[in-house]
């Protein structure tokens, strides 16, 4: 998800997105460790999505 799309989310939706991104990243890491992950680039993309969401969440906290 792009940052512009994330900025349109409410605080609660953003919190849910962070939780989902963490779960997704955890599952990808497990699959990678067990050799079941075919597309290893998806780990990098998941990390970037999580970082984007956390950065936006931090930005909102500092603005308040």
pLDDT score recorded for residue 33: 96
Q: Determine the pLDDT at residue 1.
A: 78
pLDDT at 64: 83
Q: What is the CATH number of the domain that holds 32?
A: 1.10.287.310
Dist. CA 13–CA 36, nearest whole Å = 30
Q: What is the count of structural domains for the chain?
A: 1
Tens of pLDDT, residue by residue over 8-64, are: 999 999 999 999 999 999 999 999 999 999 999 999 999 999 999 999 999 999 998
Q: What is the domain extent for residue 7?
A: 3-63
Using alpha carbons, select from 40, 30, 33, 49 the residue that is nearest to residue 57. Answer: 49
């Amino acid at each position: 998800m792009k940052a512009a799309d994330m900025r349109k989310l409410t605080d609660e939706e953003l919190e849910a997105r962070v939780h989902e991104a963490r779960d997704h990243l955890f599952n990808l890491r497990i699959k990678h460790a067990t050799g079941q992950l075919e597309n290893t680039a998806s780990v990098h993309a998941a990390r970037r999505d999580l970082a984007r969401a956390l950065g936006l969440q931090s930005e909102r906290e500092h603005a308040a």
